[in-house]
Structure 1
Amino acid sequence: MRGEYETTGSTAEDPQIQIEQLKEENRRLRKQIRQLRAAAAEKKKVEFSKLIFLGVSIVTIAITVFSCRVIWLTMDTSALAYLIPAVFAEMASATGFYYTKAKAENKIKLMALSGVQPEAHNFDT
């Protein structure tokens, strides 16, 4: 590949042949780039745990905003005593579930990289 684009002769046709070769190489590389971009753009399946986490996060934010709006209108903070702790407890549960699952998946990946077979007793802690 080192001398691929160096000139070897001094004929008048030689530069034209090289230009054509470079054009063909350029077309080939552009086609390869399009294929790589198309492969990267394929829709990837979203994990169900991420969907749960996202849904709970959206509900938590919506209820918090709604509660703040109602408290502003009614000037009554009694709703905060029950509504907000319940919503944030659900958020804490979803967050704990998601990170525990991610921790186990990462442990499996690291075990596979080091050549260790994942077993049940490896996940007791």
Structure 2
Amino acid sequence: MFRILEAAVGLCLPLPPGFHTLLAVLAVRCLPRHSFLQYIDHKLLQLTETFVARLMTDLDNSDDNEKMKFSILKRLPQVPLYKILCFFPGTNPFEEQENVDTRFVEETALKQTFILLGFEEK
């Protein structure tokens, strides 16, 4: 697949729709994780929104998979925060309590997420 990509780019040919998504899906299944992440870092693989959404829903919540999810999210170009947060659904622990400043909790959670993703300094 990489040879097809290299040839198409070299000849300035357009790639079919979904080519980068398919290539990333094959790579994540066939390559060791560290190699897969290096391919992303060296721009050999492009992370498409479709691929990331599919990967986040397909991986379970084990520790290794959570590290993989976070590693991939760190490598994404700047993405709207609501798209990132939809990959980490969870229950709201403050839902049934009274006297909780939900606005403060939301702002703190957003700030911590930005810090974890490297978009903002501490």
Give the TM-score category using the shorter length.
Answer: under 0.3
Q: TM-score, normalised by structure 2?
A: 0.26
Higher Cα Rg: structure 1 or 2? 1
Q: TM-score, normalised by structure 1?
A: 0.25
